[in-house]
Structure formats: structure tokens, C-alpha cells
Amino acid sequence: TQATFENIKATDPKIDAFLHLNEDQALAQAAALDQAGISDDQPLAGIPLALKDNLVTKDEPTTAASKMLENFTPVYDATVVSKLADAKMVPVGKTNLDEFAMGGSTENSAFKTTKNAWDQTKVPGGSSGGSAAAVAAGMVPAALGTDTGGSIRQPASFNGIVGMKPTYGRVSRWGLIAFGSSFDAIGPMTRSVKDNAMLLSAIAGHDDHDLTSSDKAVPNFAADLTAATSVKGMHIGLPKEFLADGINDDVKQAILAAADTYRKLGATVDEVSLPHNKYGVAAYYIIASSEASSNLQRFDGIRYGYRAKDVKNLEDVYVKSRSEGFGAEVKRRIMLGTFSLSAGFYDAYFLKAAKVRTVILNDFKAILKDHDFIMGPVAPTPAFNIGAEISDPLTMYMNDILTIPVNLAGLPGLSLPAGFSNGLPVGMQLIGRPFDESTLYKAGYAFE
């Protein structure tokens, strides 16, 4: 743990992945572990890791990278944080993100811009850009991220690491600062598939505090990952829409090469189709923004968080606190969401988007009936330049055209390194049946 902090202090000034380090608390926890000793049934004990700063941590600041929560210290731990404590892992700090996880480059943080671990002129992706860069730069062996429309998988891809968005409901969302509650998922970001599998087993499972968390048994995901793990006989679908125009050539080549690798390993790879994929981004921005506008109502300047000064009356407290406390992208989502939900527009927008969501789910179901999993790219391009897309929301939103449909359908998606383009990592995405993260880990491990 000491070495981890030395490493972070030497490396983070050029990456800016961390918003907060809890050095005293982590060193005390590690020292207590040294005293008590570690038992064989706790393979993760003593291992340091980082947490995205939208996961609440008792007595340690949690900001969601928003001025709204700049001075906020929660009074409880998120369920995943308690589970890490049960596994005796050692959280060392909180990582940067796009404000309230809204964005794809970590440039929407109210506090700092994180840099890509491979090239500091490039974005780390987002919104879990701090977690991804911290792992890729070797500052921590693992981190937790959150994924509402791609925020674990896309930064994993941009930084050449492994990121899992588990099935919706696999991991409790209690203590995750809510963005789009019907999409939000917490998942592990690591340097290897096996590390990732171990971490998911540690954080998954039913939780009475989150009624959408599933009571399905949680497998020991890493146990099956042995030298003999094979994809022999598996059927893989490769949607033609995933290699269509707009996808960078190097990205396409990396995926086609990965398909060849799977064929050599004894799997079949068929061309399949997700005909409604193109409607995913539009449906997502309506539904996720609607949910966000509702979730963010709690930041009223009264209960907790930022409160504006020089106010004349109660309405002034609300208006000024929210105007000053939220950044531009968060305000954009609130406006989109309240508009879509408002009387007179609900049927045309929210209801229509909800129907599109079902159609997209059915496209996936049709393929997964006779395919073990689906493969494709994570993002249309490798990491882009800092500053290149931040003033153009629509271009930024299109980065998630390949990840968003997976959240709409609630399926598990694994992002893992598949190649390079001009020295920058290119990721591959494996999409599975509900609660079948196991197959994705096996296929990832066989490829890695």
C-alpha cells in the first residue's frame, strides 16, 4: 500500500486520475491486515484499488466530479464498498469522472481533465476515465467504474485495459450516485481478464437495499479460467452494423483479426444483424436524460451539497444553487429529460424511446438464441485529442453507438484490448446473455 501511494504521487501529476487519496485510512487498514494475517480464502486481501468518485464512501469525500458535491462527505458506504471491505481489499482513493458520469471523455469534470495513460494529449475516455487511466498507468491494479451507456467499456478500450459492465441487476447500485437508474451498472476495471473476474465475484450479489439487484447465485467467475479454457464449439455473432461506415479502419481490422483468432481456436463466427442499433443513441439520450432529470431533483441547495449565497427567497435558493452548482452538460441533460417527460411530449419522446428499447432488446435476443455471445468493437475510434469533441455534444454522444444498445438491453458487456492504431489501444467488446458473464470471461481469457 505504501508503494502504491509512492507510485501514485510520482505518476499522477501527469495523468490527473485521482480526485482524492485516503492515505491515512488505507495505510492503517493495511497495517491492521499485516497484524491479523491473511487467510487463503481471501485472495483479494491487501490488494489496493481505486473507486470512481460517484460511489459513496463513509467519511471520505465523494463529489461525482461536481461542484454541487465539492464539500460532501457521505455517512455510509456503497454496498460495493462494503463488499470490498469484506474481501479485505484496500481502497486508496477516488478517481475523476465526467460530472455525474455524464460524458465520454472525463472533460466534463468540474475539477480537472484526466489524460490518457498512453498519450497525454488524448482523452482517457469516460465517464470512468480516472479509473481507466489509473489502472492503465500502473498506479493501481484495479478500479471500480460505472457504466450507464459505455462508461466502463469505452475508457477501458481507450486505455488498453479490461472492463466489465455486468448484467443490469448483477451488482447492487446502492450508494452509487444515480444517473440513469434503469441502466446504471457498477463493474471492475483491471489489467487482466482473470483479475476482472475475481473482482466481479467479490462485488456482485443480491442486496436488500437495491430491489433491482438479482438474487441469482454469483459464480466464482475466475475458477473456470484455466489454461484449458476454450471457446471451441462456441457460436459467435458479429453484427454487420458493428463494422459499418463510420467505424475507423484500424478498429475494423482489429475486430476482423480477433474473429480469425476465435475461428482458429475452434469457434464459428457468423455475420448477424442488429437492424435497430442505429436508433440506440437517440432512445438512450431520451430515457437516460429523463431518469437523470428526476434523479438530480434532490440537489436543491437545501438538503446537502452546494448552496448559493446572496439569495432572496426559497425559489432563489433552488435556482441559484442549481445554476451555479451544475455544469453545462448536466444542465443539458436536465433540460432534455424534463422536456421529454413533460405533458404533451411524453408520448412522442419518452414512450417512443421506451418502445425502441424493447425492439433493440429483441434484436439481441434473436441473435443470442443461437449464439453464445456477440463480438464487435467498443468504440468507433481510438482515443481522440483532448478538446476535440467537447464543444460538440452530438459527436461526443455518437462515441457510444456500440455500447449504448447493450445498456438498453441490460446485457453484460466485456471490453478487452484487441490491437493498436497509431500507438493507441483498440478495444473489443463481447456481449453476452443476461447473467452469463461467465462465457464472456472464458472467451476473453481464451483471446488474451
Distance of CA 167 to the CA centre of its chain: 12
Which among 105, 109, 151, 340 is annotated as catalytic?
151
Distance of closest approach, residue 338 Cβ to ligand GLN, in angstroms: 16
Q: Is 149 in the site for ligand GLN (CB under 6 A)?
A: yes
For residues 278-307, which are near ligand GLN according to CB under 6 A? 288
Q: Is 104 in the site for ligand GLN (CB under 6 A)?
A: yes
Per-residue x/- track, 158-197, ligand GLN (CB under 6 A)? ---------------------x------------------
Which among 66, 127, 201, 293 is annotated as catalytic?
127
Quick one: 204 exposed, middle or buried, by C-beta within 10 A (0-12, 13-18, 19+)? buried
Distance of closest approach, residue 165 Cβ to ligand GLN, in angstroms: 8
Candidates 15-23, 35-43, 148-156, 358-366 — which segment interacts with ligand GLN by CB under 6 A? 148-156
The C-alpha cell that represents 5 in the structure block: 501511494
CA atoms within 13 A on the CB side of 289: 25
Number of residues that bind ligand GLN (CB under 6 A): 13
Active-site residue, 66 included: no
Q: Which is nearer to ligand GLN, 53 or 400 (CB)?
A: 400
Identify the CA nearest to 125 among candidates 149, 101, 154, 82: 154
Q: Which of 107, 147, 241, 363 binds ligand GLN (CB under 6 A)?
A: 147
Per-residue x/- track, 372-401, ligand GLN (CB under 6 A)? ----------------------------x-
User: Contact 237/364 with Cβ under 8 angstroms?
Assistant: no
Alpha-carbon distances, residue 172 vs 54, 81, 113, 209 (angstroms):
14, 11, 29, 8
Q: Is 327 in the site for ligand GLN (CB under 6 A)?
A: no
Q: Which is nearer to ligand GLN, 22 or 105 (CB)?
A: 105
Q: Which is nearer to ligand GLN, 103 or 175 (CB)?
A: 103
Q: Which is nearer to ligand GLN, 237 or 413 (CB)?
A: 413
Give dist(CA 53, CA 128) in Å, integer.
9
User: Contact 427/418 with Cβ under 8 angstroms?
Assistant: yes
Pairing relationship of beta strands 268-272 and 235-239 according to DSSP bridges: parallel
Q: Which is nearer to ligand GLN, 148 or 381 (CB)?
A: 148
Query: Where are the strands (E) in 54-132, listed by range?
Result: 90-95
Quick one: 364 exposed, middle or buried, by C-beta within 10 A (0-12, 13-18, 19+)? buried
For residues 400-439, which are near ligand GLN according to CB under 6 A? 400
Distance of closest approach, residue 228 Cβ to ligand GLN, in angstroms: 35
SS percent in the chain: helix, strand, coil, step 5: 40, 15, 40
Active-site residue, 172 included: no
Give dist(CA 109, CA 125) in Å, integer.
12
Kindly list the residues in this chain that would bind ligand GLN in the complex (CB under 6 A). 101-104, 127, 147-151, 179, 288, 400
